[in-house]
Amino acid sequence: MSRSAVFLDRDGTINEEVDYLYRPQDLVFLPGVAAAIRRLNEAGLLVVVVTNQSGVARGYYAEADVCRLHQVMADQLARQGARIDAFYYCPHHPEKGNPPYVGPCSCRKGAPGMLMQAATDLGIDLTSSFMVGDKWVDVEAGRAAGASSLLVLTGHGRKTKDALGEDFEGVPVCDNLSDAVDRILGPSC
């Protein structure tokens, strides 16, 4: 049985943008995020984080650091009644870094690899699912997977919007994750 999901970018969408975030003490959730995720949970949607983590390829931190941060995120959100159903991350960079993490891959957003893997693992119907992020690569990944994409203006979102001008190709633009959830669950943001 297929389920619908909301795929969330991590940095700049769920938490404050911090270059190469891996230390739990540097994690700061954006306002309203826990309540927005809780609303998705209550609506019966899976919530899946998909995040590019090229800091692994670059040698700034290890995959274990990414996993540890994700556990801290999950624990802190759970204390506020919100649940992340799964975390997926891409440790690669196409040009910079150390083997085996440097080179092309199918998981780095704008490619749909993480979404496709989650769909297989969790029984997700991508055509009834959503991708929410603050960069155009998030939008591209969602579209490539067959999901509907939304751009939020937190994190790099305003810079992304300014770079695109008026050419959003029909992608809804929302102020933040709470507004995106409003759009997904009901009225326009």
Which one from 9, 85, 134, 179 is the annotated catalytic residue?
Answer: 9
Tokens of 90: 């891409």
Angle in degrees, CA 115, 42, 107, rounded to 5: 10
| String of DSSP letters for the chain | --B-EEEE-SBTTTB---TT---GGG--BPTTHHHHHHHHHHTT-EEEEEEE-TTTTTTSS-HHHHHHHHHHHHHHHHTTT----EEEEE--BSSSS-TTSBS--SSSTTS-HHHHHHHHHHTB-GGG-EEEESSHHHHHHHHHHT-EEEEESTTTHHHHHHHHTT--TT--EESSHHHHHHHHHSS--
Q: Let me know if 9 is a catalytic residue.
A: yes
Helices in 3-108 by DSSP H: which ranges? 33-42, 63-78
125 annotated active-site? no
Q: Which residues are catalytic?
A: 9, 11
